[in-house]
Amino acid sequence: MAAKAQNTTIASDIAESLRNLPAGNKLSVRVITTADHQVDSLTPQRRFSHFHSSSTMSRRTLIFVSQGECLVAGLEAHEFTSISVQISGGQNTSPSVAVDICIEKVDTSGELSIRMPLVSALIAGYMRSLRRYRAPLGIDTVGVHLFARAQPEYLFAKSQGNPGKRILDDLALIKWWQGTLQAGLSYAMVSDNSTASSLTAIANCIVPGTSAGEAPWFLGAQSGIRVPEADKAIEQPATGMMAKCNPADTALNAYSKAHHTVQWKWGLPYDDTARAHDCVLQFPDDPMTRLLSEPHSGAWSVHTLLEMLSVSEECGSGHRTAYFSATLPLRAHLSCASADTDGTAEQGKPSFDDYDRALVALFDRDMDFSSSDSALASSLRFTEYIDTQLGIASVTVDTTGATVAPRHSETKAKEPPKVNDLTMSIRKKRKVAE
């Protein structure tokens, strides 16, 4: 059994971001963060004209939000810290430090009692918690990366059968992520120091198989790309439904300040002509990583890699997926940096083996989130395991935002889930009675 881990800094940041959700809800946040482990470089085949030495450490983070005793949302991320030293002309350069976060999974169980943008608030709180890297590492930015792909479920077994789990198709999911990152990055840049200078986060998005001319369809007016009014709605071919992403639905605009902006760019955050192996970060279990592991990929440019992605099994064949990468500036958070408590103390943190055992417990064949009764039983089984085996301390928060109608007042029948639910930012157009 791992020693008691008082790992509450991330949980406290997330709880604070959940506070402005609709009033009358008591939520609990649990965070599992492993100790740092040595891992392979994110650019394992990079070539240099001079000697280069690098070391990459990684830790894994698993976050759960409960309403009452039932798990309602979860997020899994893989965090990497790379330290590089180059020697040119017989002299060492100063070490450079890079921190990159890969958000691997986000999911809901379908058991949230009312419609509210809980997952958006969870992601925003997690991104703001990344300030903790500033104190021990002295860095100015953190990279946030994710691969958006619609799936029926990621973390909660059999939740696709839960009638409370709303669904998003490929295009709607991409729009959801863009709106959520827009608000989440803005929230993450808000400093406790009211005199902080203006900040800009640079965010990239690319949908393999599409051209730059299609960027406004995915990024929308809030991205800074000029969009004709008629193009703000997206027609989804699979259903014929017209969907419109409203950034206000994330309920995070209250945290955003006018002097903090997000600048969107279309494409990967690399030079199209650069050799892909020299610059593209290769995260575990990622389509780009699998393609770059092919023996004939050595001479590929970034542009060629994108072309290959567009015809790959995961990103082609009618699928719509997206890569998002953002550079989050941290320099406004100097007043918060000294508050870091869980970024430096490794003793007592779960190991990778402890983490893997927690995942085995989460994906046990008896876990079932398809109904309220089974979801509650599964939640109790899993939280008891991580509380007793890993000593995970929960942080609770009472929400104080505007109230909304309870979910049971929604009488419209829900269709069987087809893709992953990330709630509430896509609203279906109501039919007019004839």
Q: What is the pLDDT of residue 44?
A: 84
Q: What is the pLDDT of residue 431?
A: 45
Q: Average pLDDT in the 3-18 region?
A: 76
Q: What is the pLDDT of residue 428?
A: 39
CA dist 427 and 424 (Å) reads 7
Q: Is the pLDDT of residue 5 over 80?
A: no
Coil, strand or helix: which one is 32? strand
CB 399 within 8 A of CB 23: yes
Q: What is the pLDDT of residue 260?
A: 65
Q: Is the pLDDT of residue 346 over 70?
A: no
Q: Average pLDDT in the 400-425 region?
A: 53
pLDDT category of residue 204 using cuts at 50, 70 and 90? very high
CA dist 277 and 293 (Å) reads 10
Render pLDDT for 365-377 as a digit per residue (tens, 0 to 9).
999 999 999 999 9
Q: What one-character DSSP code corresponds to residue 22?
A: B
More confident residue, 32 or 260: 32
Task: Report the candidate in 329, 402, 369, 379 with the shortest Cα–Cα distance to residue 139.
Answer: 329
CA dist 2 and 357 (Å) reads 12
Output the CA–CA distances (angstroms, integers) from residue 216 to 77, 177, 213, 227, 253, in the order listed: 28, 15, 7, 6, 21
For residue 203, the one-letter residue type is A
Coil, strand or helix: which one is 223? helix
Buried b (16+ CB within 10 A) or exposed e, 290-301: ebbeeeebeebb
Render pLDDT for 37-84 as a digit per residue (tens, 0 to 9).
999 999 887 755 555 667 899 999 999 999 999 999 999 999 999 988
| DSSP one-letter string for 4-20 | PB---HHHHHHHHHHTT
CA dist 33 and 104 (Å) reads 14
Render pLDDT for 234-262 as a digit per residue (tens, 0 to 9).
332 222 222 233 333 444 555 444 456 89
Render pLDDT for 265-297 as a digit per residue (tens, 0 to 9).
999 999 999 999 999 999 999 999 999 999 999
